[in-house]
Amino acid sequence: MLEWIIVGGGIQGITMAAFLLKSGKTIVDQLAIVDRNEEPLARWKHCTEVISMPYLRSPSVHHLDVNPFSLQKYVKKEDWNKLKWVFEEYIGSKTGSGTNCE
């Protein structure tokens, strides 16, 4: 039986789901995310694609995980050479020219 229904599969909805699951307040079988799109973050992905932004360009503590330092912890844990391509592609990417996401 569902105990939690989250309306919206955007950044806030996914963050709430991650919090509920990681904090042990619920399990996957008791959680549903309702969204008009077929996959989570679909609107966010569309908007960032429109402006040619393949990666979130925020400080490393701004992401969907509960722990704000989990990305930094992951980078320290993993072999830098495995992750290097992400940063090279990010640094080399270009932003759009002010295109609105509609």
Write out pLDDT tens, residues 19-41: 999 999 999 999 999 999 999 99
Q: Rounded to whole angstroms, what are the CA distances from 96 to 10, 44, 67, 85?
A: 22, 15, 31, 21
Q: What 3-state DSSP class applies to 91? A: helix
What's the whole-number mean pLDDT along residues 63-90? 76
Domain boundaries, the chain: 4-92
Q: Which residue has the higher pLDDT, 31 or 70?
A: 31
What's the whole-number mean pLDDT along residues 47-71? 83
pLDDT at 74: 82
Exposed/middle/buried for residue 75 (C-beta within 10 Å: 0-12, 13-18, 19+):
middle
Structure tokens at 37: 């799109």
What's the whole-number mean pLDDT along residues 48-58? 82
Segment among 29-38, 53-62, 65-74 with least mean pLDDT: 53-62
